[in-house]
Structure 1
Amino acid sequence: MALLARLRLQSFHLLLRRHHLNFSTSPLSSTSKTRVALSLLKTETNPEKILEICRSASLTPEANIDRIAFSVAIDKLAKSNNFSYIDEFLTELRTSRPDLRTEQFAAHSIVLFGKAGMIDHAIRLFKEYHEKNQNGVVLSSGPVKLLNSLLFSCILAKKYDEVKRVFVNFTKSYTIEPSLDTYNTVIQAFSEGGSSSSCYSVLNEMDKKGVKPNATTFGNLIAGFYKEEKFEDVGKVLKMMEEDYGINAGIDIYNIRIRSLCKLKRSKEAEALLGGCIARGVKPKAVTYRYLIFGFCKEGNLEGAKSLFKSMVNRGCIPDYYCYSTLIYFLSKGRDFESAYRICKESMEKKLVPNFPTMKMLVEGLASSGNVEKAKELIGEIKEKFSKNVDLWNEVEAGLPQ
């Protein structure tokens, strides 16, 4: 095993050399290896090399950045229909690495199978670990954790009917007592799958079992009813939440309602809801305004979006990257290049630079409208502050009117 690990590390370093990345001869930290792995995974298409990159980085689900790397790798393999490699890789990790023979990695593997649409494999793994538990290997939090992962796996695969089957059959067959997370996941599935009314029966079961719903429970349900445009049910759920369960609508509930209304192209109603939120003393977040700005822009109301952005800043809410990039993109698309330029300059001062396509659209738009100097100024600032895509920006600059 030690020899195999050394060979893999050497292979990893060879991959680094092949991709012209700098590294030290001293051992890389786990985080550094994962960052390099992520960089390699973004461009790699060969399934065998994708697996070797992951093996060499010695990924573990305990670290968030490693979970991201796992997700990227599985997603790339699934999109290229290399499902056998996914099964091979996850099975190999569970059997060859003692540190991954854990309930946590089993739960993570179940979710990854769902992400790849491999629900049959997720179910097989759940049953495998449950049988171990039956044979006396007691899992740290019981099989409910794996059940919750399996339910979520079905949601990722958009197998909403399978959620109901797994929930009903597995809780009985394996004598599993559902937790709050279990019920919340089932409600999320019904809501996303267009069967929000079925959630009332889930709430009734929760009451019988003495499991108290939380804001997440009602947030999922509200989102579902908005999606189905059942506005009376939205009001019913809000009243039930506050009067029957004593849960006040916080900013997370308001964000769900605002986002849902914007998706339905009812952004003016969402803006009115923001006013009610502020009047009740609930402080909006950057994401609140982001949903509204996106909604107004999608409906072609760029003046309204600009007004919201100004109101956001005046209220002391700091715009995030997505607020800036969304507004710059839609203003550029709507040929309001002066406003886009002004907001872009502000975002760049905060080192928040929209992606290359958005910036390219703005730069070329400025040049086409007679503001070549401003276009070149932006390119110069980008190349000075950020080394990424310098060659691409040189090409863009060369194509501008002289």
Structure 2
Amino acid sequence: MAATIRSKLRSMTLHHQPHFRRFATSILNPDSKTPFSSKDKSRAALSLLRTETNPERIIDICRAASLTPESHLDRIAYSKAIAKLRNSSYFGGIREFLEESKSQPGFRSERFISHFVVLYGQAGMLNDAIQTFEQMEEMGIQRSVKSLNSLLFSCLAAKNYGEMKRIFVEFPKKYGIIPNLDTYNTMIEGFCDSGSSSSVYSILDEMIRNKVKPNATTFGHCLSGFYMEEKFEDVGKILEMMKQHGVASGIGTYNIRIESLCKLKRSKEAKALLDGILSRGVKPNSVTYTHLIHGFCKEGEMEGAKSLFKEMVDSGCQPGSECYFTMVYFLCKGKDFEAAVNICKESMAKGWVPNFTTMKLLVDGLASTSKVEEAREIIGQLKEKFSRNADRWTEIEEGLAK
């Protein structure tokens, strides 16, 4: 109790005294002469959170930025901070920080409290999420299906599927809440994630009874689950149900099927599915090709991956950074350094640089194939772009064959 009071007093001090403004400026903006807008604070906090590992300092960064669940950037910062604190098992600090945030008068609405419910789930602190939901009435906040859905999503984030099922069965009756499409979709996703895909049929039946029309997301979760469990007969049943409910198989549905096949190391079947949709005039997108390229790379089918990469670019789809990084890494592993360096240069020209491990594979590979000057050229660019790793790259450069 005393610790909670101290926490609240500290929060008031931080937010209402000149000391807090100096504290915020010193953490987020060392150049105290330059004023920071709310957006500037959010961006600075996100930048600092990427590399900060000290749990107490992570919380200080969040406090200094005066995060609010209303801002998209701030919601990203909250999630990043909670993920890092969870990895550090800093659960007491998470509780203190979120309770402090909840206590702010401006955050006393169902929308904001629902966000804190989700954050507790992301932290793996499901009891706190449930307690927050149950305390809403005491806080003068009306519960609705929105906060129920947040609690179910919290269970999903915490991977506590048993509690998820209990809450779904008990809470709508207990609190007089009628489930909606998002409620059912979250439950279907939970059953599929937990390897209990066959349970989705009971949810689909309930949806039909309650006149809630399933959508592409509903069936997409079902397809992912049945593919994961290799229940291909059920995949066919779901595709048939989509037709019955008038839900078209758009590129989003095909992408789910292609990704699922690639995860099962059945990338050639996924490529056949792509060829089929092309013949029917359905236009693939960058996501389609990225799933296929990753699948072919994982199976060591690098010629197929290169062909798909070219087809992707020729069709007008733009590869994203992860697609470039995947290609460079696996081409290096396959010792195709010429193709790897060409794709890497294209990626770097767009400002996307693969991680240190991949770049070292490339540099070492170029050096091993008598392309030392090209390796040095890349090292020069890396030293210029990432000064913090300059010493490591200098050491690697000195070790290259003369």
TM-score > 0.5, shorter chain as reference:
yes
Is the contact between residue 115 and residue 156 of structure 1 (CA under 8 Å) also seen in structure 2? yes
SS in 1 for 2:50: helix
Deviations 1:7-26 (A, max 9, x none): 2221233335xxxx653513
Structure 2 residue 259 is matched with structure 1 residue 259: yes
Over the matched positions of the two proteins, sequence identity in percent amounts to 58
CA RMSD of aligned residues (A): 1.9
User: Structure 1's 351 and 369: CA in aligned 2 closer, same or farther, altered over 3 A?
Assistant: same
Q: Greater shift after overlay, 258-267 or 391-400?
A: 391-400
Check conservation: 1:130, 1:143, Cα contact below 8 A. Answer: no
Gaps of 5+ in 2: 1-11
Distance in 2 (alpha carbons) for counterparts of 1:5 and 1:54: 17
Secondary structure of 2:164's counterpart equals helix
In 2, are the aligned partners of 1:191 and 1:221 still within 8 Å (CA)? Answer: yes
2:343 is the counterpart of 1:335: no
Is it true that 1:12 corresponds to 2:20 in the alignment?
no
Of 212-221 and 77-86, the range deviating more from structure 2: 77-86
Give a deviation string over 1:234-259, Cα, whole Å, max 9, x none: 011011102x1111111111111011
Partner of 1:313: 313
State the secondary structure of the residue aligned to 2:135.
Answer: helix
AA in 2 matched with 1:381: Q
C-alpha distance in structure 2 between counterparts of 1:156 and 1:79, whole Å: 14
Please say if 1:54 is aligned against 2:62: yes
Deviation per CA, 1:143-182: give whole Å up to 9, x if none. 2111111111111111112111110110111111001101
Match of 1:185 in 2: 186
Structure 2: distance between partners of 1:110 and 1:189: 17
Partner of 1:118: 125
Deviates more, 1:296-305 or 1:349-358: 349-358
**1:369-380 counterparts in 2 under 5 A?**
369-380=369-380
Q: Distance in 1 between matches of 2:176 and 2:354?
A: 51
- The 1:124–1:138 alpha-carbon spacing in structure 2 relative to 1, beyond 3 Å, is closer
AA of the residue aligned to 1:69: A
The Cα shift of 1:386 comes to: 6.2
In structure 2, the residue matched to 1:65 is 73
Distance change >3 Å, CA 277–CA 90, structure 1 → 2: same
- Could you list the per-position Cα deviations for residues 90-140 of structure 1 after superposition, in whole angstroms to 9, with x for gaps in the alignment? 111111x222222222111111111111110000011111455xxxx464x
- Distance (Å, rounded) in 1 between the aligned partners of 2:388 and 2:271: 37
340-349 or 110-119: bigger deviation: 340-349
1:269 paired with 2:276, answer: no
Distance verdict in 2 for CA 1:52–1:131, change over 3 Å: same
Shift of 1:44: 3.2
* Distance (Å, rounded) in 2 between the aligned partners of 1:237 and 1:70: 37
Count of matched residue pairs: 390
Q: Secondary structure at the match of 1:129?
A: coil
1:51 CA drift (Å): 1.7
Is this contact kept in 1: 2:102–2:116, CA < 8 A? Answer: no
Looking at structure 1, the residues matched to 344 and 30 of structure 2 have their Cα atoms a distance apart, in angstroms, of 32
- Give the superposition deviation at 1:388: 6.4
Q: CA deviation at 1:214?
A: 0.7
Please list, as runs of the form range in 1=range in 2, the aligned pairs for 1:2-401 lying within 5 A after superposition. 4-16=16-28, 22-95=30-103, 97-130=104-137, 132=139, 137=140, 139=142, 142-242=143-243, 244-384=244-384, 389-401=389-401
| Deviations 1:15-39, CA, capped at 9 Å, x for gaps | 35xxxx6535132111221222223
AA partner of residue 359 (structure 1) = M
Deviation at 1:264, TM superposition (A): 0.4
SS in 1 for 2:201: helix
Q: Is the 8 A contact 2:45 2:65 kept in 1?
A: yes
Amino acid at match of 2:282: V
Residues 8 and 55, structure 1, Cα contact 8 Å, conserved in 2: no
The answer to whether the 8 A contact 2:25-2:32 is kept is no
- Over 3 Å counting, the alpha-carbon distance change for 1:252 and 1:5 in structure 2 is farther
Shift of 1:396: 2.9
Judged with a 3 Å threshold, the aligned counterparts in structure 2 of structure 1 residues 252 and 387 are, in CA distance, closer, same or farther, namely: farther
State the TM-score, normalizing by the size of structure 1.
0.92
8 Å CA contact 2:110, 2:141 repeated in 1: no
> Matches of 1:248 and 1:176 in 2, distance apart?
30
Normalised TM-score (structure 2): 0.92
Q: Answer whether contact 1:340 1:362 (CA < 8 A) is retained.
A: yes
Answer whether contact 1:337 1:366 (CA < 8 A) is retained.
Answer: yes
> What SS is found at the alignment partner of 2:283?
coil
SS in structure 1 of the partner of residue 214 of structure 2: coil
Could you tell me how far 1:43 is from its partner in structure 2?
3.6
Give 1:385 shift. Answer: 5.7
Equivalent AA in structure 2 for residue 111 of structure 1: V
